[in-house]
Amino acid sequence: MTFRPLLRNDTREVLDRLSDIRLFRLRINRAYVDEVQATDQSLGGAFAAASEVGQAEDLEVVLRPRRHSRGRIAEGMLGVARRLARREDLREGAINFEVRGFNGVTEHVELVDILSDRLIATRRILRESARSRALDRWATYAAIEDGYREMRDDLVRAASALTLP
């Protein structure tokens, strides 16, 4: 049996609204180098070279303009980021993937954490008593129902997008 997280996929939509990139940070497992190289030869080559030199298990590439310069990274990196974000196997090989760029819709620079689009709801739940660690079961059920109602559309959309082998 395999459990896969239900994903919101809204980070991809935010990434699509960016008009330029000011930060590109990708940290991967060594075993994922070939997949990155299949997506972009140059970026994959950088990871492959780092892998050969350092013999490390985790590899990271950070691209950014000079500090306090309001500069941008080459336009091609936005396309690379979008292609990588659309890879089905990204979560298996990537440890951290962040892009900061200018959002033309909001007209602000935004940080997009590509791997943070899991469907998670957080609720406060009362304890049975002030002296107990046990949660009040009715408050727990109410919190679960409340979270479900709030995220129902996203849950249905994510479950319908899930393809099983």
Cβ atoms of 70 and 102 within 8 Å: the answer is no
Distance of CA 29 to the CA centre of its chain: 15
Q: Could you report the per-residue pLDDT of 108-152, keeping only the tens digit for each?
A: 888 888 887 666 677 888 888 888 889 999 999 999 898 888 878
Cβ atoms of 93 and 32 within 8 Å: the answer is yes
Crossing angle, helix 76-85 and helix 10-17, to 10 degrees?
170
Assessment of whether the complete model's pTM goes beyond 0.75: no
Mean of pLDDT values over 88-116: 88
Cβ atoms of 105 and 31 within 8 Å: the answer is no
The full set of domain ranges for the chain reads 10-113, 119-165
Residue indicated by tokens 């310069």: 69
Give the residue among 102, 45, 112 at the shortest CA–CA distance from 81.
Answer: 112
pLDDT for the residue 149: 87
Query: What Å distances lie between residue 65 and 23, 106, 110, 136, 153, CA to CA?
Result: 8, 22, 16, 52, 39
* Comparison of pLDDT for 95 and 5, the residue scoring more: 95
> Does 88 have pLDDT greater than 60?
yes
When pLDDT is cut at 50, 70 and 90, the band that residue 164 belongs to is: low
Q: Could you report the per-residue pLDDT of 29-74, keeping only the tens digit for each?
A: 999 999 999 999 999 999 999 998 878 899 999 998 888 777 788 8
pLDDT for the residue 46: 93
> Does 97 have pLDDT greater than 60?
yes
| 17/38 Cα distance (integer angstroms) | 24
